[in-house]
A = this chain, B = another copy of it.
Amino acid sequence: MNPRSKYILTAFVAVAAAFAATIVLAQGSLPSWNEGPAKKAIVEFVGKVTQKGSPDYVPPAERIATFDNDGTLWAEQPTYFQFLFPLDRVKALAPQHPEWRDKEPFASLLKGDLKGALEGGERAMLEIVMTTHAGMTTEEFEKIVKDWLATAKHPKLKRPYTEIVYQPMVELLAYLRAKGFKTFIVSGGGIEFMRPWTEKVYGIPPEQVVGSSIKTKYEWREGKPVLVRLPEINFIDDKAGKPVGINEHIGRRPVAAFGNSDGDRQMLEWTQAGGGARLMMLVHHDDAVREFAYGAESKIGTFSDALMAEAKENGWTVISMKNDWKRIFAWEQ
């Protein structure tokens, strides 16, 4: 072969290899997704917004994708994981608070009567959370969360919570990042409860976590400046709070948003209202065998009929865990 032919052949092989690699990447990076409308919606959306010259092209800096956490990235049944944390904390702190034996909601809690404890409604829950989440420094709280996470297990699946994450969504996060997206969590959960582990579990660094928070105060303790956690709500990052939190933390409208419940409705509406190519998806918990089946009737992760109707009307994609996911957790099979 003459040098010129050899050169052309080499170039041709290189181009063909690159092309093949792209296809393999698209197909190979979502191995836990079944072929179907959900996977198709993802791959088509990513294709058109990343294709230079496409009318839907979005520059990398604007490829913002936001994810709810509870019920979207990890399990939220039989109760939000974050609810178990204050309950365990109340038990751990009880010896220092003998008065709790006669004081609700603590008295019921210590007797193991969760339902009784929560009879006081939101005020009771708030009192439990404030008692267990405030007073210490941010560093002390981080350590408490990490220590607890190291031993706490899912009440039904009997595994650490950091393993009760949805493998298809972990693959989706990685796939989007490989395509130049910046992935954010936008959750009603406590921001300081999530940050200690989201980087390890989801590849999402603390500065890309948006959540609910209590106020903190800068002060000096033992010759060192610290941030002390105060028993005062700062921000509730849920429902209509999600677009507010997104605007405050990110300052850019997402082009893709993922949720699973009525708490995510406004985030998806806000994302779609930006116009142009947008991807809105809702995880639907319809797999009683491999996970949990719940929806309109559930108090946790309510997926109302109104939300389902809005999804249909607006062209949001509903992910069926039963049909769209080959496996749910990494440790399956």
Q: Which listed residue (B192, B225, B266) contacts A270, Cβ 8 A? A: B225
- The answer to whether B205 touches A247 (Cβ under 8 A) is no
* Copies of this chain in its oligomeric complex: 2
Which residues does chain B contribute within 8 Å of A251, judged by CB atoms? Answer: 191-192, 195, 206-207, 209
Q: Which listed residue (B207, B227, B244) contacts A250, Cβ 8 A? A: B207
Q: Give A contacts to B, CB under 8 Å.
A: 61, 64, 138, 182, 191-192, 195, 199, 205-209, 213, 216-218, 224-225, 227, 234, 240-241, 243-244, 247-252, 266, 269-270, 273
Q: Which listed residue (B206, B243, B270) contacts A252, Cβ 8 A? A: B206
Q: Which listed residue (B209, B218, B252) contacts A244, Cβ 8 A? A: B218
Q: Which listed residue (B195, B217, B266) contacts A218, Cβ 8 A? A: B266
Instruction: Report the separation of the CA atoms of residues A182 and B241 in the bound assembly, to the nearest whole angstrom.
Output: 27
Minimum CB–CB distance from A172 to chain B (whole Å) comes to: 20
Which residue on B lies nearest to A240, using beta carbons?
A: B218
- The answer to whether A247 touches B225 (Cβ under 8 A) is no
Minimum CB–CB distance from A223 to chain B (whole Å) comes to: 10
- The answer to whether B247 touches A138 (Cβ under 8 A) is yes
- The answer to whether A227 touches B206 (Cβ under 8 A) is no
Minimum CB–CB distance from A203 to chain B (whole Å) comes to: 10
Instruction: Report the separation of the CA atoms of residues A209 and B248 in the bound assembly, to the nearest whole angstrom.
Output: 10
29 contacts between A and B (CB under 8 A): A61-B205, A64-B207, A138-B247, A182-B207, A191-B248, A192-B251, A205-B252, A206-B251, A206-B252, A207-B207, A207-B208, A207-B249, A207-B250, A207-B251, A207-B252, A209-B251, A216-B244, A216-B248, A217-B240, A217-B244, A218-B241, A218-B243, A218-B266, A224-B273, A225-B266, A225-B269, A225-B270, A227-B243, A234-B248
Which residues does chain B contribute within 8 Å of A249, judged by CB atoms? Answer: 207, 249
Minimum CB–CB distance from A220 to chain B (whole Å) comes to: 9
Which residues does chain B contribute within 8 Å of A205, judged by CB atoms? Answer: 61, 252
Which residues does chain B contribute within 8 Å of A266, judged by CB atoms? Answer: 218, 225
Minimum CB–CB distance from A236 to chain B (whole Å) comes to: 12
Instruction: Report the separation of the CA atoms of residues A217 and B213 in the bound assembly, to the nearest whole angstrom.
Output: 17
Instruction: Report the separation of the CA atoms of residues A273 and B182 in the bound assembly, to the nearest whole angstrom.
Output: 30
- The answer to whether B213 touches A250 (Cβ under 8 A) is no
Instruction: Report the separation of the CA atoms of residues A194 and B195 in the bound assembly, to the nearest whole angstrom.
Output: 26
Which of A216, A225, A234 has the most chain B CB atoms closer than 10 A to its own CB? Answer: A225
Which residues does chain B contribute within 8 Å of A247, judged by CB atoms? Answer: 138, 216, 227
Which residues does chain B contribute within 8 Å of A216, judged by CB atoms? Answer: 244, 247-248
